[in-house]
Amino acid sequence: MIDITDPIYVLTIVAFVIGLIRMGNPATARSGILWAGIAMAFSIGATFFLPGISNLILIFPAILIGAVIGYVAARRVAIVNMPQMVAIYNGMGAGAASTIAAIELIRGNASSFNITIALAGAIIGNVSIAGSVIAFLKLQGWMMQKPITFTLQQVLNLIVAAVGIFFGVLFLTHFNTLLPYRDALIPFFVLTIGYGFLMGLPIGGADMPVLISLYNAMTGIAVGLEGFALSNYAMVVAGILVGAAGTILTLAMAKAMNRSVGAILAGGFGRTREENRTISGNLKPISSEDVAVMLAYASTVAIVPGFGMASAQAQFKVRDLTDLLISKGIRVFFAIHPVAGRMPGHMNVLLAEAGVPYDLLEDRDEANRAFQDVDISLVIGANDVVNPAARIQGTPIYGMPILDVDKSKNVVVLKRGAGKGFAGIENDLFYMDKTKMLYGDAQESISKVIQELKKL
Ligand code: NAP
């Protein structure tokens, strides 16, 4: 029979690369996802043409069950719960890579090189699956979101990781001698998975995005390594693409939140100190009528969206307000912080969904250069990403690069009440003389402002 897996794998790789390129731009991102899906379908299809494929009676129902669960879950998930979903899918990818490693290692009929590669993939996959489970439980609120710490935690983590790796090395050096050394595999898997759980415990909720992105990169690397072990180059390329994209995202997120990736691996990540300071000034409520008047006299308005816009599903009203302001000759731009919301690119996705033109979106650096000329910054459900406390040493978010909204001439903050941001701390911006608070659900508040603005 002619081997058609190689040509299909080439198509798979091309489709993955096209998908990734298209995901790089909000305008083409949807089709990028579709291309990646097609690539996945190709690679699964090619598997059936591999020599020696058996157990079809198990494979087909497994694919069917997985596809139905995945489809229903993806249709139902609310956008605010997307990080949990990413965490759990990450874990599944890592679990699949570890399972392949386990099977290859139990078979044991490979070269030392391949065994080494399979073991390395298994370590990374095991840490990633266990860590992703912890990330899911914390984000879903099924486990305490606060960092879980105890004395000698890092020493314990180190011992568990070192002993787990020791059993891996023991297996590697003795895999072709008889059985007892095979038993090294069980402690190897138990301990490396255990290390993954331990590593996730001290991570606080606010630091979770970086960690999920790191697990994403690790899962890609694990899949790539298992691809090497199986000599399956579609897996190698897919793994490398996920690993590289995940690594770039991890570094960008870590930079955006001023966190060190090295500290994550040491398991000492995300310990937030309790806040212990008083802020001078007071909160000054404003009515939607007054906000409309302020806007009508502005020349430049910056819109700063955050998690509250997503939660209120206010993006469509925000688009209406933008159109109205532009029709009145007012310059409008959106200031987008890379970790605003609850998932990478969250604001971009919502604004693209509402049809906000992409050229109105400014990234943090561009926006920060522009704020001093902004007459009014409309902060719509953003909190941590505009908190000047990040510039004050000793505060829990010290060092996190923020949007310098406080440099604009006037600030109007739309939020429902006294709710804090994800980091759970007070926001100095809200107490400044130039800041007014428009209380209420963001969608309702913007609707009222639009009504008032239309009367002027
Ligand atoms: P944030 O700090 O979480 O603050 C959201 C604000 O929105 C709150 O002050 C809340 O105040 C308000 N709000 C909630 N529902 C609202 C509604 N229906 N209408 C109006 N306002 C509403 O948001 P952010 O500034 O976007 O910062 C994101 C935070 O999440 C960062 O700390 C980031 O590190 C973290 N994070 C990011 C990601 C990511 O990948 N982007 C993932 C996980 C965590 P009220 O309750 O008073 O209304």
Both 413 and 311 in one domain: the answer is yes
244 and 296 together in one domain: no
- The CA 359 to ligand 1 mean position distance, Å, reads 24
CATH number where 417 lies: 3.40.50.1220
pLDDT single digits (tens) 396-417 = 788 888 999 999 999 999 999 9
Q: Which atom of ligand 1 is nearest to the CA of 423?
A: 32
Residue 16 placed within a domain = no
**What is the identity of the amino acid at 120?**
A
Containing domain of residue 212, as a range?
Answer: 77-266
- Indicate whether 194 and 305 sit together in one domain: no
Q: How far apart are CA 318 and CA 313, in angstroms?
A: 10
How do beta strands 331-336 and 376-380 pair?
unpaired
Structure tokens at 264: 């994550």
Nearest CA to ligand 1 atom 44: 342
**Whole-angstrom Cα distance, residue 388 to residue 259?**
17
Q: Which of 316, 339, 420, 426 to mutate to test the pocket of ligand 1 (most atoms within 8 A of CB)?
A: 339
Decide if 193 is inside a domain: yes
85-100: per-residue pLDDT in tens?
Answer: 889 999 999 999 999 9
Q: Which of 422, 425, 429, 437 has most ligand 1 atoms within 8 Å of its beta carbon, as the pocket-test mutant?
A: 422
Same domain for 166 and 134, yes or no, is yes
329 vs 342, more confident: 329
C-alpha–C-alpha distance, residues 382 and 398, integer Å: 17
Is the pTM for the entire model greater than 0.85? no
Which residue bears the tokens 């970086």? Answer: 210
Is the Cβ atom of 206 under 6 angstroms away from ligand 1?
Answer: yes
Distance CA 264, CA 260 (A): 7
Same domain, 393 and 292: yes
Domain boundary among the residues 233, 266, 299 is at 266
Task: Look at the chain and report how many structural domains it folds into.
Answer: 2
Phi, psi of 313 (to 5 degrees): 55, 45
pLDDT score of 269: 40
Residue 34 lies in a domain: no
Q: Is residue 351 part of a domain?
A: yes
Q: According to the model, what pLDDT value does residue 220 have?
A: 95
SS3 330: coil
- Catalytic positions are 384
Q: Is 382 in the pocket of ligand 1 (CB under 6 A)?
A: yes
**50 in a structural domain:** no
Does some domain include residue 24? Answer: no
pLDDT at 268: 46
Give 111-165 pLDDT, tens digit per residue. Answer: 888 899 999 999 999 999 999 999 999 888 898 877 788 888 889 999 999 999 9
Q: What is the pLDDT of residue 276?
A: 66
* 61 part of a folded domain: no
Same domain membership, residue 318 and residue 241: no
**297/244 same-domain check:** no
- 177-197: per-residue pLDDT in tens? 655 566 889 999 999 999 999
216/97 same-domain check? yes
Q: Is 306 a pocket residue for ligand 1 (Cβ < 6 Å)?
A: yes
CB burial of residue 237 (10 Å; 0-12, 13-18, 19+): buried
User: Residues 6 or more apart from 399 whose CB is under 8 A from it?
Assistant: 258, 390
- Confirm or reject: Cβ of 430 under 6 Å from ligand 1: no
Confidence of residue 2 (pLDDT cuts 50, 70, 90): low
Indicate whether 232 and 315 sit together in one domain: no
* Predicted confidence (pLDDT) per residue in 273-289, tens digit: 445 677 888 999 999 99
Instruction: Fill in the DSSP letter of residue 339.
Output: T
426 and 307 within one domain: yes
Determine the atom of ligand 1 nearest the C-alpha atom of 385.
25
Q: How far apart are CA 231 and CA 136, in angstroms?
A: 32
Residues 243 and 298 in one domain: no
253 part of a folded domain: yes
pLDDT at 444: 97
User: CB count, 10 Å around CB of 108?
Assistant: 14
Q: What is the pLDDT of residue 35?
A: 96
Q: Identify the pLDDT of residue 304.
A: 98
User: Are 233 and 311 members of one domain?
Assistant: no
